[in-house]
Amino acid sequence: MIPAEMNRQQLNDFKSEVQKQYEDYKALGLSLNMARGKPGTEQLALSAPMLDCLKASDFTAAAADYFNYGALEGIKEAKELFAPMLGISPENVIVFGNSSLNIMYDTVARAMSFGVSADTEPWKDCGKLKWLCPVPGYDRHFAITELFGFEMINIPMDENGPDMDMIERLVKDDPSIKGMWCVPMYANPTGITYSDETVKRLAALEPAAKDFRIFWDNAYCIHHLTDTPDKLLNIYDEMKKNGKEDMVYMFASTSKVTFPGSGVAILGASKANLDHIKKSMTIQTIGHDKLNMLRHVKFFDGKFENIVEHMKKHRAVLEPRFKVVSDILTQELGGTGLGSWVDPNGGYFVSFDSLPGCAKRIVSLCKEAGVTLTGAGATYPYGKDPEDKNIRIAPTYPSLEELTKAMEIFVCAVKLACAEKLLADTESASSIA
Protein backbone atom coordinates (compact mmCIF):
# COMPACT_ATOMS: atom_id res chain seq x y z
CA MET A 1 0.00 0.00 0.00
CA ILE A 2 1.40 3.41 -0.90
CA PRO A 3 1.47 5.97 1.92
CA ALA A 4 -0.97 8.35 0.19
CA GLU A 5 -3.62 5.63 0.41
CA MET A 6 -2.99 4.73 4.05
CA ASN A 7 -5.44 5.58 6.79
CA ARG A 8 -4.35 7.45 9.87
CA GLN A 9 -3.38 4.35 11.83
CA GLN A 10 -1.40 2.91 8.97
CA LEU A 11 0.39 6.20 8.48
CA ASN A 12 1.24 6.35 12.16
CA ASP A 13 2.70 2.86 11.99
CA PHE A 14 4.66 3.76 8.85
CA LYS A 15 5.98 6.87 10.49
CA SER A 16 7.03 5.04 13.68
CA GLU A 17 8.93 2.54 11.62
CA VAL A 18 10.90 5.12 9.58
CA GLN A 19 11.35 7.28 12.65
CA LYS A 20 13.12 4.42 14.37
CA GLN A 21 15.28 3.81 11.32
CA TYR A 22 16.08 7.54 11.19
CA GLU A 23 17.13 7.64 14.85
CA ASP A 24 19.48 4.73 14.20
CA TYR A 25 21.10 6.62 11.32
CA LYS A 26 21.37 9.74 13.43
CA ALA A 27 23.12 7.77 16.17
CA LEU A 28 25.92 6.96 13.70
CA GLY A 29 27.07 10.60 13.91
CA LEU A 30 28.04 10.75 10.25
CA SER A 31 29.28 13.76 8.27
CA LEU A 32 28.56 13.33 4.58
CA ASN A 33 28.28 15.97 1.86
CA MET A 34 26.14 15.84 -1.27
CA ALA A 35 25.72 19.61 -1.53
CA ARG A 36 27.77 20.69 -4.52
CA GLY A 37 28.70 19.46 -7.98
CA LYS A 38 32.28 18.88 -7.00
CA PRO A 39 34.42 16.26 -8.69
CA GLY A 40 35.73 13.63 -6.34
CA THR A 41 39.36 12.83 -5.64
CA GLU A 42 39.42 9.92 -8.11
CA GLN A 43 38.36 12.31 -10.84
CA LEU A 44 40.98 14.90 -9.93
CA ALA A 45 43.64 12.19 -10.13
CA LEU A 46 42.75 11.66 -13.80
CA SER A 47 44.28 15.01 -14.71
CA ALA A 48 47.33 14.91 -12.45
CA PRO A 49 49.58 14.04 -15.43
CA MET A 50 48.70 17.45 -16.88
CA LEU A 51 51.04 18.93 -14.29
CA ASP A 52 53.97 17.31 -16.07
CA CYS A 53 53.01 18.82 -19.44
CA LEU A 54 54.93 22.02 -18.85
CA LYS A 55 58.40 21.79 -17.46
CA ALA A 56 61.26 24.21 -16.91
CA SER A 57 62.88 22.78 -20.01
CA ASP A 58 59.90 23.91 -22.08
CA PHE A 59 61.03 27.48 -21.61
CA THR A 60 62.86 28.61 -24.72
CA ALA A 61 63.37 31.99 -26.30
CA ALA A 62 61.14 30.85 -29.16
CA ALA A 63 58.34 30.02 -26.72
CA ALA A 64 58.82 33.18 -24.63
CA ASP A 65 55.55 34.79 -25.79
CA TYR A 66 53.58 32.19 -23.83
CA PHE A 67 55.36 33.37 -20.68
CA ASN A 68 54.95 37.09 -21.20
CA TYR A 69 52.07 39.57 -21.36
CA GLY A 70 49.69 39.50 -24.26
CA ALA A 71 47.17 37.47 -26.24
CA LEU A 72 44.00 39.00 -24.84
CA GLU A 73 41.84 36.35 -26.52
CA GLY A 74 43.95 33.43 -25.39
CA ILE A 75 46.46 31.40 -27.36
CA LYS A 76 45.49 30.18 -30.79
CA GLU A 77 46.02 26.49 -29.95
CA ALA A 78 43.64 26.70 -27.00
CA LYS A 79 40.99 28.45 -29.08
CA GLU A 80 41.25 25.66 -31.61
CA LEU A 81 41.21 22.92 -28.99
CA PHE A 82 38.17 24.17 -27.12
CA ALA A 83 36.00 25.65 -29.89
CA PRO A 84 34.40 22.23 -30.60
CA MET A 85 33.08 22.13 -27.03
CA LEU A 86 30.72 24.90 -28.08
CA GLY A 87 30.49 23.86 -31.72
CA ILE A 88 31.77 27.14 -33.08
CA SER A 89 34.80 28.43 -34.97
CA PRO A 90 37.99 29.23 -33.04
CA GLU A 91 37.72 32.86 -34.14
CA ASN A 92 34.47 33.06 -32.20
CA VAL A 93 36.15 31.95 -28.99
CA ILE A 94 37.91 33.83 -26.20
CA VAL A 95 39.80 31.68 -23.71
CA PHE A 96 39.65 33.07 -20.17
CA GLY A 97 40.92 32.07 -16.75
CA ASN A 98 39.75 29.29 -14.47
CA SER A 99 36.05 30.07 -14.13
CA SER A 100 33.15 30.23 -16.56
CA LEU A 101 31.02 31.60 -13.70
CA ASN A 102 33.40 34.56 -13.65
CA ILE A 103 32.88 35.09 -17.40
CA MET A 104 29.11 35.00 -16.93
CA TYR A 105 29.24 37.45 -14.02
CA ASP A 106 31.51 39.77 -16.01
CA THR A 107 29.25 39.49 -19.05
CA VAL A 108 26.25 40.62 -17.00
CA ALA A 109 28.33 43.31 -15.26
CA ARG A 110 29.63 44.58 -18.59
CA ALA A 111 26.13 44.76 -20.07
CA MET A 112 24.99 46.65 -16.96
CA SER A 113 27.72 49.26 -17.40
CA PHE A 114 28.20 49.40 -21.16
CA GLY A 115 25.31 47.57 -22.83
CA VAL A 116 25.65 44.59 -25.15
CA SER A 117 26.53 46.62 -28.25
CA ALA A 118 27.53 50.11 -29.28
CA ASP A 119 23.95 50.96 -30.23
CA THR A 120 22.15 49.76 -27.10
CA GLU A 121 21.85 51.36 -23.67
CA PRO A 122 23.72 50.14 -20.61
CA TRP A 123 21.26 47.89 -18.79
CA LYS A 124 21.71 50.03 -15.65
CA ASP A 125 20.00 52.86 -17.54
CA CYS A 126 17.07 50.75 -18.77
CA GLY A 127 14.90 51.06 -15.66
CA LYS A 128 13.16 47.88 -14.53
CA LEU A 129 15.12 44.74 -15.51
CA LYS A 130 13.79 41.19 -15.77
CA TRP A 131 15.41 37.84 -16.45
CA LEU A 132 14.04 34.43 -17.42
CA CYS A 133 15.04 31.56 -15.18
CA PRO A 134 14.16 27.99 -16.18
CA VAL A 135 13.39 26.15 -12.92
CA PRO A 136 14.64 24.19 -11.22
CA GLY A 137 18.01 25.65 -12.18
CA TYR A 138 21.49 26.61 -11.00
CA ASP A 139 21.69 28.69 -7.83
CA ARG A 140 24.89 30.49 -8.83
CA HIS A 141 23.22 31.75 -12.01
CA PHE A 142 20.32 33.12 -10.05
CA ALA A 143 22.68 34.74 -7.53
CA ILE A 144 24.26 36.84 -10.31
CA THR A 145 21.00 38.23 -11.66
CA GLU A 146 19.69 38.76 -8.13
CA LEU A 147 22.82 40.73 -7.21
CA PHE A 148 22.36 43.03 -10.20
CA GLY A 149 18.72 43.64 -9.29
CA PHE A 150 16.87 41.70 -11.97
CA GLU A 151 13.35 40.54 -11.30
CA MET A 152 13.67 36.85 -12.02
CA ILE A 153 10.78 35.03 -13.67
CA ASN A 154 10.41 31.27 -13.13
CA ILE A 155 10.02 29.29 -16.36
CA PRO A 156 8.91 25.69 -15.74
CA MET A 157 11.09 22.96 -17.21
CA ASP A 158 9.94 19.66 -18.61
CA GLU A 159 11.79 16.85 -20.36
CA ASN A 160 12.20 19.04 -23.47
CA GLY A 161 13.58 22.07 -21.68
CA PRO A 162 11.92 25.29 -20.59
CA ASP A 163 8.31 26.16 -21.45
CA MET A 164 8.76 27.76 -24.87
CA ASP A 165 5.17 29.00 -25.18
CA MET A 166 5.64 31.00 -22.02
CA ILE A 167 9.06 32.33 -23.08
CA GLU A 168 7.86 33.39 -26.53
CA ARG A 169 4.86 35.14 -25.03
CA LEU A 170 6.87 36.93 -22.35
CA VAL A 171 9.78 38.23 -24.44
CA LYS A 172 7.57 39.38 -27.34
CA ASP A 173 5.99 42.26 -25.49
CA ASP A 174 8.30 43.09 -22.59
CA PRO A 175 11.49 45.02 -23.42
CA SER A 176 12.55 44.86 -19.78
CA ILE A 177 13.33 41.15 -20.18
CA LYS A 178 17.04 41.30 -21.00
CA GLY A 179 18.14 37.72 -20.82
CA MET A 180 17.76 34.11 -19.86
CA TRP A 181 19.87 31.47 -18.15
CA CYS A 182 20.14 28.10 -19.89
CA VAL A 183 22.04 24.93 -19.05
CA PRO A 184 20.97 23.25 -22.26
CA MET A 185 22.63 19.88 -21.88
CA TYR A 186 22.27 17.63 -18.84
CA ALA A 187 20.69 20.61 -17.14
CA ASN A 188 21.58 21.55 -13.60
CA PRO A 189 19.77 19.97 -11.80
CA THR A 190 17.17 18.14 -13.90
CA GLY A 191 19.67 16.38 -16.14
CA ILE A 192 17.54 16.83 -19.24
CA THR A 193 18.83 18.09 -22.58
CA TYR A 194 16.89 20.68 -24.55
CA SER A 195 15.01 19.11 -27.48
CA ASP A 196 15.73 20.16 -31.05
CA GLU A 197 12.43 21.99 -31.13
CA THR A 198 13.28 23.92 -27.96
CA VAL A 199 16.64 24.98 -29.39
CA LYS A 200 15.04 25.99 -32.71
CA ARG A 201 12.39 28.04 -30.97
CA LEU A 202 15.00 29.73 -28.76
CA ALA A 203 17.04 30.51 -31.85
CA ALA A 204 14.01 32.10 -33.46
CA LEU A 205 12.88 34.23 -30.53
CA GLU A 206 11.68 37.71 -31.35
CA PRO A 207 12.23 39.61 -28.13
CA ALA A 208 10.96 43.14 -27.70
CA ALA A 209 14.36 43.94 -26.16
CA LYS A 210 16.91 44.32 -28.94
CA ASP A 211 19.55 43.68 -26.27
CA PHE A 212 18.05 40.37 -25.10
CA ARG A 213 20.74 37.72 -24.64
CA ILE A 214 20.57 33.99 -23.98
CA PHE A 215 23.31 32.88 -21.57
CA TRP A 216 24.01 29.38 -22.88
CA ASP A 217 25.98 27.71 -20.11
CA ASN A 218 27.07 24.51 -21.76
CA ALA A 219 28.78 23.30 -18.58
CA TYR A 220 28.09 19.62 -19.22
CA CYS A 221 28.43 19.45 -23.01
CA ILE A 222 30.82 16.48 -22.95
CA HIS A 223 29.90 15.05 -19.57
CA HIS A 224 28.12 11.90 -20.68
CA LEU A 225 27.22 8.99 -18.41
CA THR A 226 25.92 6.42 -20.91
CA ASP A 227 26.65 4.80 -24.24
CA THR A 228 23.68 6.63 -25.69
CA PRO A 229 24.45 10.23 -24.83
CA ASP A 230 21.97 13.01 -25.42
CA LYS A 231 22.44 15.20 -28.45
CA LEU A 232 22.06 18.95 -28.33
CA LEU A 233 21.28 20.93 -31.44
CA ASN A 234 23.81 23.68 -32.17
CA ILE A 235 22.02 26.88 -31.20
CA TYR A 236 24.63 29.10 -32.82
CA ASP A 237 24.10 27.46 -36.20
CA GLU A 238 20.33 27.74 -35.79
CA MET A 239 20.64 31.41 -34.90
CA LYS A 240 22.89 32.07 -37.88
CA LYS A 241 20.18 30.67 -40.16
CA ASN A 242 17.88 33.29 -38.66
CA GLY A 243 20.45 36.09 -38.70
CA LYS A 244 20.19 36.19 -34.90
CA GLU A 245 23.61 34.98 -33.81
CA ASP A 246 24.16 38.08 -31.67
CA MET A 247 21.40 36.83 -29.34
CA VAL A 248 23.53 34.23 -27.56
CA TYR A 249 26.63 34.06 -25.36
CA MET A 250 27.97 30.51 -24.96
CA PHE A 251 30.07 29.31 -22.03
CA ALA A 252 32.01 26.20 -21.16
CA SER A 253 35.01 25.25 -19.06
CA THR A 254 37.34 22.43 -18.15
CA SER A 255 36.45 22.74 -14.46
CA LYS A 256 34.93 19.27 -14.59
CA VAL A 257 37.33 18.01 -17.25
CA THR A 258 40.73 18.78 -15.72
CA PHE A 259 40.81 20.71 -12.41
CA PRO A 260 37.87 22.65 -10.93
CA GLY A 261 40.08 25.42 -9.56
CA SER A 262 42.71 25.35 -12.28
CA GLY A 263 40.95 24.72 -15.55
CA VAL A 264 40.30 27.14 -18.35
CA ALA A 265 36.98 28.67 -19.30
CA ILE A 266 35.75 29.82 -22.68
CA LEU A 267 33.25 32.23 -24.13
CA GLY A 268 31.82 31.73 -27.60
CA ALA A 269 29.95 34.50 -29.35
CA SER A 270 29.39 36.30 -32.63
CA LYS A 271 32.02 38.65 -34.00
CA ALA A 272 29.86 41.67 -33.13
CA ASN A 273 29.46 40.46 -29.53
CA LEU A 274 33.16 39.64 -29.18
CA ASP A 275 34.20 43.01 -30.62
CA HIS A 276 32.02 44.79 -28.08
CA ILE A 277 33.33 42.64 -25.24
CA LYS A 278 36.94 43.21 -26.21
CA LYS A 279 36.49 46.97 -26.04
CA SER A 280 36.22 46.85 -22.25
CA MET A 281 38.07 43.58 -21.75
CA THR A 282 41.26 45.14 -23.12
CA ILE A 283 40.98 47.69 -20.32
CA GLN A 284 40.11 45.08 -17.68
CA THR A 285 43.07 42.79 -18.28
CA ILE A 286 46.09 42.13 -20.46
CA GLY A 287 44.92 38.55 -20.89
CA HIS A 288 44.62 35.30 -18.95
CA ASP A 289 47.06 32.58 -17.94
CA LYS A 290 48.53 31.36 -21.22
CA LEU A 291 50.75 28.75 -19.57
CA ASN A 292 47.71 27.00 -18.15
CA MET A 293 46.15 27.11 -21.59
CA LEU A 294 49.33 25.62 -23.02
CA ARG A 295 49.34 22.94 -20.30
CA HIS A 296 45.83 21.94 -21.41
CA VAL A 297 46.80 21.99 -25.08
CA LYS A 298 49.74 19.70 -24.40
CA PHE A 299 47.77 17.37 -22.11
CA PHE A 300 45.21 16.81 -24.87
CA ASP A 301 47.79 16.98 -27.64
CA GLY A 302 45.73 19.79 -29.16
CA LYS A 303 42.94 17.39 -30.15
CA PHE A 304 39.32 17.69 -29.06
CA GLU A 305 38.82 13.96 -29.50
CA ASN A 306 41.36 13.41 -26.74
CA ILE A 307 39.18 15.48 -24.42
CA VAL A 308 36.25 13.27 -25.35
CA GLU A 309 38.35 10.19 -24.58
CA HIS A 310 39.41 11.71 -21.27
CA MET A 311 35.75 12.22 -20.36
CA LYS A 312 35.22 8.47 -20.61
CA LYS A 313 37.52 8.07 -17.63
CA HIS A 314 35.37 10.52 -15.70
CA ARG A 315 32.32 8.53 -16.73
CA ALA A 316 33.89 5.35 -15.39
CA VAL A 317 34.27 7.02 -12.00
CA LEU A 318 30.85 8.64 -12.00
CA GLU A 319 28.60 5.98 -13.49
CA PRO A 320 28.66 3.72 -10.38
CA ARG A 321 27.79 6.76 -8.24
CA PHE A 322 24.75 7.62 -10.30
CA LYS A 323 23.78 3.94 -10.22
CA VAL A 324 23.84 3.95 -6.41
CA VAL A 325 21.53 6.96 -6.39
CA SER A 326 19.19 5.43 -8.94
CA ASP A 327 19.17 1.99 -7.30
CA ILE A 328 18.45 3.25 -3.80
CA LEU A 329 15.79 5.68 -4.99
CA THR A 330 14.11 2.96 -7.08
CA GLN A 331 14.35 0.32 -4.40
CA GLU A 332 13.16 2.47 -1.54
CA LEU A 333 10.84 4.97 -3.17
CA GLY A 334 9.84 3.36 -6.48
CA GLY A 335 6.08 3.03 -6.67
CA THR A 336 5.55 4.74 -3.29
CA GLY A 337 4.38 8.02 -4.77
CA LEU A 338 6.67 9.80 -2.31
CA GLY A 339 8.92 11.29 -4.92
CA SER A 340 9.96 11.38 -8.56
CA TRP A 341 13.27 11.72 -10.31
CA VAL A 342 14.93 11.15 -13.68
CA ASP A 343 18.10 9.15 -14.22
CA PRO A 344 20.21 11.54 -16.30
CA ASN A 345 22.35 10.55 -19.29
CA GLY A 346 25.04 12.95 -18.17
CA GLY A 347 25.91 15.91 -16.00
CA TYR A 348 26.41 16.12 -12.28
CA PHE A 349 23.02 15.89 -10.62
CA VAL A 350 19.87 13.98 -9.92
CA SER A 351 16.89 16.24 -9.42
CA PHE A 352 14.43 14.82 -6.89
CA ASP A 353 10.87 16.04 -6.43
CA SER A 354 9.24 15.08 -3.14
CA LEU A 355 5.61 15.50 -2.17
CA PRO A 356 4.90 19.24 -2.20
CA GLY A 357 5.78 20.95 1.08
CA CYS A 358 8.40 18.36 2.11
CA ALA A 359 11.74 19.46 0.61
CA LYS A 360 12.84 21.78 3.40
CA ARG A 361 11.95 19.18 6.00
CA ILE A 362 13.85 16.45 4.14
CA VAL A 363 16.98 18.60 3.85
CA SER A 364 16.71 19.50 7.50
CA LEU A 365 16.24 15.87 8.58
CA CYS A 366 19.27 14.88 6.49
CA LYS A 367 21.31 17.69 8.03
CA GLU A 368 20.42 16.49 11.54
CA ALA A 369 21.56 13.03 10.57
CA GLY A 370 24.87 14.33 9.23
CA VAL A 371 24.09 14.50 5.49
CA THR A 372 24.51 17.91 3.90
CA LEU A 373 22.40 18.51 0.80
CA THR A 374 22.06 21.61 -1.38
CA GLY A 375 19.64 23.82 0.53
CA ALA A 376 15.98 23.26 -0.33
CA GLY A 377 14.86 26.08 -2.58
CA ALA A 378 18.38 26.67 -3.92
CA THR A 379 17.31 25.50 -7.35
CA TYR A 380 14.88 28.42 -7.59
CA PRO A 381 15.45 32.19 -7.86
CA TYR A 382 15.60 33.90 -4.46
CA GLY A 383 15.90 30.40 -2.92
CA LYS A 384 12.11 30.09 -3.07
CA ASP A 385 10.72 26.84 -4.38
CA PRO A 386 7.00 27.67 -4.65
CA GLU A 387 6.00 24.06 -3.99
CA ASP A 388 8.87 23.27 -1.61
CA LYS A 389 9.50 19.98 -3.35
CA ASN A 390 12.75 20.07 -5.37
CA ILE A 391 16.03 18.74 -4.01
CA ARG A 392 19.28 18.57 -5.95
CA ILE A 393 21.31 15.44 -5.29
CA ALA A 394 25.02 15.81 -6.11
CA PRO A 395 26.56 12.32 -6.03
CA THR A 396 30.02 13.07 -7.45
CA TYR A 397 32.07 14.13 -4.44
CA PRO A 398 31.53 11.45 -1.76
CA SER A 399 33.13 8.04 -2.02
CA LEU A 400 30.87 5.20 -3.17
CA GLU A 401 30.59 3.97 0.39
CA GLU A 402 29.74 7.41 1.77
CA LEU A 403 27.29 8.00 -1.03
CA THR A 404 25.50 4.73 -0.32
CA LYS A 405 25.11 5.64 3.33
CA ALA A 406 24.05 9.20 2.46
CA MET A 407 21.39 7.95 0.04
CA GLU A 408 20.04 5.46 2.60
CA ILE A 409 19.65 8.33 5.02
CA PHE A 410 18.14 10.49 2.28
CA VAL A 411 15.37 8.02 1.40
CA CYS A 412 14.69 7.48 5.08
CA ALA A 413 14.34 11.25 5.53
CA VAL A 414 12.02 11.41 2.51
CA LYS A 415 9.77 8.73 4.01
CA LEU A 416 9.73 10.39 7.41
CA ALA A 417 9.00 13.88 6.06
CA CYS A 418 6.26 12.53 3.81
CA ALA A 419 4.69 10.55 6.65
CA GLU A 420 4.65 13.70 8.77
CA LYS A 421 3.12 15.65 5.92
CA LEU A 422 0.45 13.09 5.11
CA LEU A 423 -0.47 12.83 8.78
CA ALA A 424 -0.75 16.58 9.07
CA ASP A 425 -2.92 16.62 5.93
CA THR A 426 -5.16 13.93 7.46
CA GLU A 427 -5.48 15.96 10.63
CA SER A 428 -6.37 19.18 8.89
CA ALA A 429 -8.82 17.27 6.65
CA SER A 430 -10.52 15.69 9.69
CA SER A 431 -10.63 19.01 11.54
CA ILE A 432 -12.31 20.57 8.49
CA ALA A 433 -14.75 17.63 8.37
Contacts with its own copies, residue ranges (CB under 8 A): 36, 38-39, 41, 44-45, 47-52, 54-59, 61, 64, 66-71, 97-99, 101-102, 105-106, 109, 112-114, 124, 140, 143-144, 147-148, 255, 259-262, 280, 283-292
- Choice between 98 and 351, CB closer to its own copies: 98
Nearer CB in complex with its own copies: 51/429: 51
* Shortest separation between residue 318's beta carbon and its own copies, angstroms: 15
Q: CB within 8 A of 305, min separation 6: which ones? A: none
**Rounded to an integer, what distance in angstroms lies between the CA atom of residue 187 and that of residue 257?**
17
Nearer to its own copies, 2 or 62 (CB): 62
Shortest spacing between CB 419 and its own copies, in angstroms: 36
Nearer to its own copies, 10 or 280 (CB): 280
Please state the closest distance from residue 397 (CB atom) to its own copies, in A. Answer: 9
CA distance 211 to 139: 24
Q: How far apart, in Å, are the Cα atoms of 288 and each of 77, 192, 254? A: 14, 33, 15
Helix axes 400-432, 8-27, angle to 10 degrees: 150
Please, what is the minimum distance in Å from the beta carbon of residue 78 to its own copies? 12
Between 75 and 83, CB nearer to its own copies: 75
Q: What is the enclosing helix (H) or strand (E) of 207?
A: none
CB of 237 to its own copies, least distance (A): 30
**145 contacts: CB under 8 Å, gap ≥ 6:** 108, 131, 133, 152, 179, 181, 381
Pick the closer one to its own copies by CB: 51 or 424. Answer: 51
**Half-sphere exposure of 358 toward its Cβ, with a 13 Å CA cutoff?**
26
How far is Cα 197 from Cα 204, in angstroms, rounded to an integer?
10
Tell me the closest approach of the beta carbon of residue 64 to its own copies, in angstroms.
5
Strands 130-135 and 151-158: parallel
Distance separating alpha carbons of residues 318 and 320, to the nearest angstrom = 6
- Nearer CB in complex with its own copies: 184/260: 260
Task: Give the relative orientation of helices 76-86 and 290-299 as an angle to the nearest 10 degrees.
Answer: 70
CB 228 to its own copies: min, Å: 30
Q: How far is the CB of 124 from its own copies (least distance, A)?
A: 6
Nearer to its own copies, 203 or 294 (CB): 294
Is the peptide bond between 136 and the residue preceding it cis, with omega within 30 degrees of 0? yes
Q: Round to whole Å and give the CA distance between 348 and 36.
A: 9
